[in-house]
Structure formats: C-alpha cells, structure tokens
C-alpha cells in the first residue's frame, strides 16, 4: 500500500494523526512527517506498521443492551440496527466494516447504472426491481450479515421487505474505492457466490475496468474496459449497459 493510498484512507475514515500513531505504535512525530511528505523514504518496518492500520477493517465496538462490550465476530443484526443513523457500516459474518461516504464518482456511477437498468425494466414491463444504495441486504438470511451493495436487481418480490432485502439479489454491482478494495474483490466475491447471487460486477475506476462474474457459468470473470457496452447475463444479453459516459467520469479519479 502506498502512502498516497493511506492518505486517502485516512481522509475517508476520519483518522487523526494521534489515532494512527496509537493504532500503529509509530511515534506521532514520525506519522506526521510521513503523511506531510517531510520523510521521503520511511523505514520498511514503519511502513508495515502503518499499513496494518489501514489494511484492517474499521471494527465498530458498541456496548450491548446488557452493558457488556461485544467481541468482533459476534455482532448481530440487532447490533447493526442499534447503531446511530450517521454511522455507516456493513455487517459481514459478525464483523462490522466501516463504510466511508461515497465519492462523487460512486454516486454518478451507481446512479447511471440504476437509471439504465430501471429504464429497461419499465420499458419491457419486467418483474424485477432495481435498488440503489443505501439499501440493506440480509444476504444469508441469518442474523450475522447485513450489507449495502451499490446497485442490485431483485427478481423475487417475496425477498423485498419493508426494512431490507432478504437473501441474495439476482444481480449485484459494487464500485471500488481505496477503502473497499479488499472487501469487494475478495470478501464480498466469496460471500455473493456462496449466498447464491447469480451475477456480480466490480467496477474499478482506478484500473479502468469492469469485472463480470456470472456464477452460473465460468468461474473466471469476463473483463471489460470501463468504456465498453457490457451485456447483463441474467437478461441473456438483451440488456446492455453502456459505459461511455461512466468512462468520462472515471477520468477524474485517475
């Protein structure tokens, strides 16, 4: 992880220099000099210690209704719903993961995909329903996972409840940001496949590409440039999402 990536994560997570020093064990003055650019070539062990702070998810520790602190890995949807509205997290297998405020590209990307999908469904009189974040998805139908994908399509109306979606959506799209890269590429990829999601798209504006996993077909993803016209597998290619405008917006995150 580069210093620039750490700076981005520091901003997204709202860390202070003092918090970074406390979490990493690196002296406060050293942290400040590295992030301010005064130290051009930090020692390897110092960089490793700093990287550990940002490589780990921000785990939210809350006091339960019984006054006892819950251990990570044991949190439930009740704990999730008890958090303040302004505290944006996802719950995956009993662990809380911090969600930074979405970037402008995130919003443009998700909004444009949602618009194209919704227009197609309306024009075709389709039975499926698209949703855009924030939307809670109780992915495993259990009490330990509640996520907020950027865009989803749900084709079974019985899954749509007042408070959240129950079970796996048919289609999920996530937009990569520096703070969610590991989660979207690895953690969520595994979770979505295991939960029964049919199709999972990863839009990476930094690598200018879109990965399309169709879990009913090949294990390896189809990889498209970010300005491509990309068919949606659950619609057998009858719906194609056009990314030309999205590619222009992606230039701003280069």
In this structure, are residues 165 and 152 in contact, taking their beta carbons and an 8 Å threshold? yes
DSSP state of 31: H
Coil/strand/helix, residue 242: strand
CA separation for the pair 157, 201 (Å, rounded) = 22
Element (H, E) at 241: strand 240-242
Q: Domain holding 18: CATH number?
A: 1.10.260.40
CA separation for the pair 152, 137 (Å, rounded) = 9
* The pTM of the whole model exceeds 0.85: no
Which is more confidently placed, 248 or 229?
229
Which is more confidently placed, 15 or 44?
44
Q: For tokens 């020692």, what's the residue?
A: 43
- Does residue 46 sit in the same domain as residue 163? no
CA atoms within 13 A on the CB side of 32: 5
Count of domains observed in the chain: 2
Q: Which of 40, 55, 70 is the last residue of a domain?
A: 55
Range in 135-149, 177-191, 234-248 with the lowest mean pLDDT = 177-191
- Does residue 51 sit in the same domain as residue 118? no
**In the prediction, which pLDDT does 209 show?**
92
Domain encompassing residue 227: 104-253
Q: Domain holding 219: CATH number?
A: 3.90.1570.10
Two structure tokens written together for 247 = 């590619």
- How confident is the model over 192-198, as a mean pLDDT? 95
* Residue range 211-243, pLDDT digits in tens: 999 998 666 789 999 999 999 999 998 999 999
- Does residue 41 sit in the same domain as residue 128? no
């Amino acid at each position: 992880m580069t210093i620039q990536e750490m700076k981005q994560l520091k901003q997204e997570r709202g860390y202070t220099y003092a918090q970074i020093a406390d979490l990493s064990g690196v002296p406060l003055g050293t942290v400040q000099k590295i992030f301010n650019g005064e130290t051009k070539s930090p020692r390897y062990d110092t960089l490793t210690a700093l990287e550990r702070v940002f490589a780990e998810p921000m785990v939210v520790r809350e006091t339960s209704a019984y006054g006892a602190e819950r251990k990570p890995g044991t949190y439930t949807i009740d704990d999730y719903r008890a958090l303040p509205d302004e505290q944006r997290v996802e719950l995956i297998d009993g662990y809380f993961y911090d969600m930074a405020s979405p970037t402008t590209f995130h919003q443009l990307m998700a909004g444009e995909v949602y618009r194209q999908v919704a227009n197609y469904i309306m024009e075709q009189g389709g039975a499926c329903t698209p949703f855009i974040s924030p939307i809670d998805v109780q992915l495993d139908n259990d009490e330990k996972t509640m996520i907020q994908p950027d865009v989803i399509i749900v084709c079974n109306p019985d899954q749509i409840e007042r408070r959240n979606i129950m079970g796996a959506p048919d289609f999920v799209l996530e937009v990569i940001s520096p703070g969610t890269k590991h989660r979207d590429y690895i953690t969520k990829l595994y979770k979505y496949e295991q939960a029964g999601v049919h199709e999972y798209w990863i839009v990476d504006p930094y690598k200018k590409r879109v990965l399309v996993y169709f879990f009913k077909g090949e294990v390896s993803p189809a990889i498209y440039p970010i300005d491509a016209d990309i068919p949606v597998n659950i619609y057998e290619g009858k719906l194609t999402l056009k990314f030309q405008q999205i590619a222009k917006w992606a230039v701003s995150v280069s």
